Amino acid sequence: MKKTIFITGGAGFIGSHVVRLFVTKYPTYRIINIDKLTYAGNLENLKDIENESNYLFEKADIVDANVINNLFAKYKPDGVIHLAAESHVDRSISNPTEFIYTNIVGTVNLLNAARLIWEDNLQDKRFYHISTDEVYGSLGNEGLFTEETAYDPKSPYSAAKASSDHLVRAYNHTFKLPVVISNCSNNYGPNHFPEKLIPLAINNIKNMKPIPIYGKGENVRDWLYVIDHARAIDVIFHNGRDGETYNIGGNNEWTNIDLIKTLCDVMDKKLDRAPGTSASLITFVKDRAGHDLRYAIDSTKLMTNLGWKPSLQFEEGLEKTVDWYLTNEEWLKNIVSGNYQEYYKDMYGSR
Ligand code: NAD
Ligand code: DAU
């Protein structure tokens, strides 16, 4: 094997696509997926590649420094692609503490472990921290987030991610740890946990349940197909410059209400329903506390310097996503039949 790469959070939504891409594209790499398997981690996401000879899974909590140090000593990775995190803004509002442990302490544990085994030889080593555009805060109606935008996180989730970004940069500055960071906009696509807007709406539309839209649905997000994010991660991991930050976005802004109306039209067609059937489920509910108005990313640096660009138009990606959820009924059923029911009731007041 040419290289050993740790991918943390590889059983989650984005992580599973990154693991699949690396396992299949780089047969000479040994890919080790380190994941605690929280409610969001699901090994079903990796069924198709779990028996590949260059893939290994280690169930571990990144908050446990001893466990993490032992894994680094055992495998001596050349690179780390760090995705493990608590990722849902609403959960960070109801239970912020978990976000501090995983997103901040967990990141520091990984940085310390990498420092320890790499200290004698930093040659060809790389710690790649995957972050979010939410660290930049909220935009008004104009403008885009660039890599120079000042950090201004507004939720416990984004504050914890911002904190981890600062720590990664501090380890680069102070200890010369070779790091790279990317900050991405909203992802969508297969394997997305149905607590997030698009898969939650798909599941509710399928079951003729109300689609909860926070406030007036005027908040704007910039949506990127998850496989395009995984492709960007591949390019940045291999060709990004040490110590640099790259923004990743879809150049694809939608208000929540327009996005959901478009999704409803797609679902009506796929489910052979009369036009307007799914849209009749749209229900405006109490707004998220501190709800960021608008995110939009300027990915010029990544596109110009590293030659990446999104491969899919949104309409095509949305249709592929709906097809995936309608085909993978079992995957969805397994998730929504467990603790999800309790979560949904606490969050939205009914099942
Ligand atoms: P996810 O919630 O789907 O998956 C997170 C994964 O991390 C799960 O497999 C979970 O089991 C694992 N995990 C959580 N806590 C852990 C711990 N203490 N130890 C080990 N593993 C743990 O998240 P996602 O949407 O795939 O996001 C992945 C990363 O990308 C996160 O760092 C997130 O901040 C970032 N990000 C996400 C988006 C998005 O739109 N989803 C956009 C930009 C950046
Ligand atoms: O921008 C990147 C971020 O995108 C990632 O860092 C986060 O991990 C990821 O969860 C996502 O955060 P958002 O809060 O933007 O995603 P979410 O799907 O939760 O919400 C998208 C928008 O839809 C947001 O404006 C809130 C709104 N919404 C969400 C839900 C779950 C609703 O109106 N109703 C809902 O039921």
pLDDT tens sequence across 105-129:
999 999 999 999 999 899 999 999 9
Burial of residue 98, with CB atoms counted within 10 A of its CB: 0-12 exposed, 13-18 middle, 19 or more buried: middle
Ligand 2 pocket, Cβ-based, cut-off 6 angstroms: 87-89, 132-134, 185-186, 196-197, 200, 212-214, 219, 221, 256, 288, 295
Inter-axis angle of helices 226-239 and 13-25, nearest 10: 60
Residue in the structure block whose two tokens are 């028996």? 51
pLDDT, one tens digit per residue, over 57-115 is 999 999 999 999 999 999 999 999 999 999 999 999 999 999 999 999 999 999 999 99
Give yes or no for residue 54 having a pLDDT over 80: yes
Give yes or no for residue 35 having a pLDDT over 90: yes
Q: Which of 109, 118, 10, 129 is nearest to 66 (CA)?
A: 109
- For residue 220, which atom of ligand 2 is closest to its CA? 25
**Which ligand sits nearest to residue 137's alpha carbon?**
2
The Å distance, Cα 83 to ligand 1 centre, comes to 5
Pick the catalytic residue: 29, 157, 225, 325?
157
Handedness of CA 13, 179, 239, 59 (dihedral sign): negative
- Does the global pTM surpass 0.75? yes
Average of pLDDT values for 169-196?
98
Ligand 1 pocket: which of 35, 38, 46, 87 to mutate (most atoms <8 Å of CB)?
Answer: 87
- For 87, list phi and psi in degrees, rounded to 5: -120, -5
pLDDT, one tens digit per residue, over 220-238 is 999 999 999 999 999 999 9
pLDDT computed for residue 191 by the predictor: 98
Handedness of CA 328, 331, 337, 340 (dihedral sign): negative
CB distance 85 to ligand 1 below 6 Å: yes
Residue with the smallest CA separation from ligand 2 atom 35 is 197
Give yes or no for residue 347 having a pLDDT over 70: yes
- For 131, list phi and psi in degrees, rounded to 5: -125, -170
* Cα–Cα distance, 42 to 56 (Å, whole number): 15
Across 36-40, 116-120, 236-240, 320-324, least confident range: 116-120
- For residue 63, which atom of ligand 1 is closest to its CA? 18
The answer to whether 134 is a known catalytic residue is yes
Average of pLDDT values for 283-301?
97
CB distance 159 to ligand 1 below 6 Å: no
Pick the catalytic residue: 61, 86, 133, 165?
133
Pick the catalytic residue: 86, 134, 195, 253?
134
Average of pLDDT values for 167-181?
97
pLDDT computed for residue 2 by the predictor: 87
Choose which CATH entry (2.60.40.1930, 3.55.50.30, 3.40.50.720, 3.40.50.2000) describes domain 3-188+224-251+295-312+341-348. Answer: 3.40.50.720
pLDDT computed for residue 306 by the predictor: 98
Please state, for a pLDDT cut of 70, what percent of the chain lies above it.
Answer: 99
* Cα–Cα distance, 288 to 273 (Å, whole number): 31
The answer to whether 86 is a known catalytic residue is no
351 confidence band (pLDDT: 50, 70, 90): low
Is the Cβ–Cβ distance between 294 and 133 less than 8 Å?
no
pLDDT computed for residue 52 by the predictor: 98
217 confidence band (pLDDT: 50, 70, 90): very high
pLDDT computed for residue 120 by the predictor: 84
Burial 217-252 (b: 16+ CB within 10 A, else e): bebbbbbbbbbbbbbbbbbbbeebeeebbbbbbbbb
* Cα–Cα distance, 60 to 35 (Å, whole number): 5
